[in-house]
Structure 1
Amino acid sequence: MTAASGTERRFYAWEVGIVLALSLGRSGVYAVLQLAERLSIAPLADQTATVQRSRSQAEFYDFTFQVLDSLFALAPVALVLYLVFLHGGNPFRRWGLDFRRPGADWALGAGLFTIIGLGTLGVYFAGRSLGLTAQIVPADVTQYWWTSPMLLLAALRHSLLEEVIMIAYLFDRARRIWPQLRSSAAAVAALVLVTALLRGAYHLYQGFGPGIGNALMGVIFAAVYLKYGRVMPLVIAHFLLDAVAFLAFPLVLQTFGLNSL
């Protein structure tokens, strides 16, 4: 990787700002405002936060809205892939967003899913017990024949959007904007912390617990990406986390004796 000039670094910085304003940075701003609004209305423990909900009482329109939500949400992912291709790179190879190592990726992804899943339950329990987390409803959708596939599509959308942009893209661009990342462990740690805090920020609409839990998840995912240089295991782990949450969250809570929270 050749060193970028000052002009190129400024170009990349503006590019990152625009991408975040169109995607997860915007979500973070709204989530902080939603948390402030929640705190002004009632205690978080008395409120609910729904991640995926029906968009219409009519089946055809609900289905259409759900599909469009996922497709439009993936537009920023397509944008960052396009931007890397535009500069002569192959993001799929560069970021490990491919199927070259399916066995290793799935093994690592499943391991991360287990660790993060158990940790998420612990953070959720603590947050609910301390009154710092709203009651989370991962999916409040009308049951049709297409509901489960649509929820799996939503899980895939969330996993691609967050891991490709928050990890692969931001780390890629940060290396071009911030030359110190090539030689300074402190600079790398600062990058990991910033991206983790942003990940936590756009989950704050659920309360402080999910914000903290997702920030910790961001640190772990960043460390794994720095070690292996592949984003696919993170996409797999995130997909599994959301798929289980959307399709079986009440069962998971009951299994671990947390359904009374």
Structure 2
Amino acid sequence: MRTARTPGQLRAEVLIVLGVSLGQSAVYSLLALIDKLTQRQALSAQTTTMNSSVTPDRPWLDLSYQLVNIAFPLVPVVLAFYLLSLDRSVGSARSGPASGLGTGFLPRTSRPWRLIGFDLRRPLPDLVAGLLIAVGIGIPGLGLYLGARALGLNTTVAASALTDHWWTVPVLVLAAAENAVLEETIMLGFLFTRFRQLGWRIGVIIAVSATIRGSYHLYQGFGGFVGNLIMGVIFGFLYTRFRRVMPMVVTHTLLDVTAFVGYALVAPYVSWL
């Protein structure tokens, strides 16, 4: 028989999930920023490279590395779902009308991914909402990145450094989807559920989640932190309304596909990226 999680267990679960995923990334990202700030080169003169080839001279092995690097970061998502499935208290109470999220604001189900709306039950509304949010965030986000770089507060981000093979674009799309699934299921679905069960106010939950989100992008510079902090606040607010992570997963995937694939296709021909 399932038993309700104690506050100590809930806090331990949050620390464990963050410790093996995005919390760990935040610590490494902070160290990366310190490294960049203590270099002789100015921050704006440095380049942050993403999606790099590991063995460019052996495409088959490079592809294997890329696929493994996409698959293993998703293990914490499985862990989060497993922990949610153990919790009897999730779904045991109705939503609070004032906050939009009650202590047990999610429906009881044996499928933990449904607890946070990570499913295909509403494909068209999720797709449309995700597309609209992506348009609303993407253009100002690009402006913020260019402005932060011009002010010397951000590195130049090379969103793709994969060698050109038949699998390059599919791998970049998979990497974008992996980022979206990992970040939104944990930063929204899992953390919002656990923090609300601990009695935190919605405003505090949104602020903490957004700050963590910004922190694991510090490796890009201060612009990366601020941009993702703002996105985290928007996503958090929308999650309290939708009670589904899928619209944000769609948004995040579209933004990263545009950044990764767009950079790979356009960067050789322009100088401002």
Give the corresponding residue for 1:54: 53
Cross-structure match for 1:25:
23
Q: How many residues are aligned here?
A: 248
How far apart, in 1, do the equivalents of 2:35 and 2:214 lie? 18
Q: Is 2:48 the partner of 1:36? A: no
Give how far 1:251 is off: 6.3
**Aligned equivalent of 1:16:** 14
Structure 2 Cα separation of the partners of residues 128 and 259 of structure 1:
13
Aligned to 2:102: none
Equivalent position of 2:87 in the other structure:
87
TM-score (norm 1): 0.90
**Is residue 161–residue 264 contact of structure 2 (8 Å, CA) maintained in 1?**
no
Shift of 1:97: 0.7
Does the 8 A contact of 1:160 with 1:235 survive in 2? yes
Q: Cα deviation per residue 1:60-96 (whole Å; 9 max; x = unaligned)?
A: 1101100101110111011111221233553222211
In the other structure, the counterpart of 1:78 is 78
Distance 2:266 2:55 in 1: 28
User: TM-score if structure 2 supplies the norm length?
Assistant: 0.86
Runs of at least 5 residues in structure 1 that lack an aligned partner in the other structure = 182-186
Change (3 A) 1:53 1:253: closer
Unaligned runs of 5+ in 2: 89-108
Distance 1:252 1:212, change over 3 A: farther
Distance 1:152 1:130 in 2: 31
C-alpha contact 2:177 2:253 (8 A) present in aligned 1:
yes
The alignment status of 1:163 with 2:184, answered yes or no, reads yes
Percent identity over paired residues: 40
Higher RCO (CA-CA < 8 Å; seq separation 6+): 1
Q: CA deviation at 1:259?
A: 4.0
> Contact between 1:250 and 1:259, CA under 8 Å: does it hold in 2?
no
Q: Residues of 2 paired with 1:254 and 1:165: CA distance?
A: 35
Tell me, in whole angstroms, the C-alpha distance in 2 between the residues paired with 1:105 and 1:176: 26
Instruction: Give RMSD over aligned pairs.
Output: 2.0
Query: What corresponds to 1:192 in structure 2?
Result: 206
